[in-house]
Amino acid sequence: MTSRGITGIILAGGESRRMGTLKPLVEYRGKLLINWIFDALSPICQSILIIANSGDFTTLGATVLPDNFPGNGPAAGIETGLSHCPTELALVTSCDTPNLPTDLFKHLLKNHDGYDVTLASHNGFNEPLIGVYSRSVHPLFRSAILSGDPRPQRIIRQCNWHEAAISPDLSFYRTDLFLNLNTPLDLAR
């Protein structure tokens, strides 16, 4: 799959209550959280959509879109991204996982063949906010939001989905690969 067929969707619209400030614009190791993910997706994506209800991301040169259905969590971000996605496939990820390298996303794409959704999985857990999504699942997300049940895991289970294992034998693996930064204490560690 060439970069001509991939859109990056960065979920940056959360309320950041636990962080106490706009999470995508928090600095981590000398770089804003949003920049870590943007830089990982840029080499393999035709375009990048940032789903955010506030914040200034103009320096990134990406398209910034507010949630179509505010207040519905990450499902609303995925729904919004897929509703504006110019390609058949999208790499979806949250803005608060700065250790995800480009090679992880390449691995997900390589293992996506024939599925609607491919999620990163590790240690028996899958990551619904780190995966490859086909634009064709957009109606499922929209319908779930409109019906009042916007849980990504439940929506994904309605799709033809699978997990792509992320294990120590992969060259890009590191023990803190899925580090998720939600609070000032997470940043301080």
Q: What CATH number did the domain enclosing 68 receive?
A: 3.90.550.10
Domain with 13, as residue range(s), is 3-188
Report the number of distinct structural domains present in the chain: 1
Distance CA 137, CA 96 (A): 24
What string of DSSP letters covers the chain?
Answer: --GGGEEEEEE-----TTTSS-GGG-EETTEEHHHHHHHHHGGG-SEEEEE-SS---GGGT-EEE--SSTTSHHHHHHHHHHHT-SSSEEEEEETT-TT--HHHHHHHHHT-TT-SEEEEEETTEEEEEEEEEEGGGHHHHHHHHHTT---HHHHHTTSSEEEEE--TTSTT--TTTT----SHHHHH-
pLDDT in tens, 11-63: 997 665 655 567 788 888 999 999 999 999 999 999 999 999 988 898 998 99
Is 93:14 a contact under the CB 8 Å cutoff?
A: no
The mean pLDDT value of the chain amounts to: 91
pLDDT in tens, 88-121: 999 999 999 999 999 999 999 999 999 999 999 9
Q: Which residue has the higher pLDDT, 154 or 25?
A: 154
The predicted model scores a pTM of: 0.93
For residues 109-136, give the mean pLDDT: 96
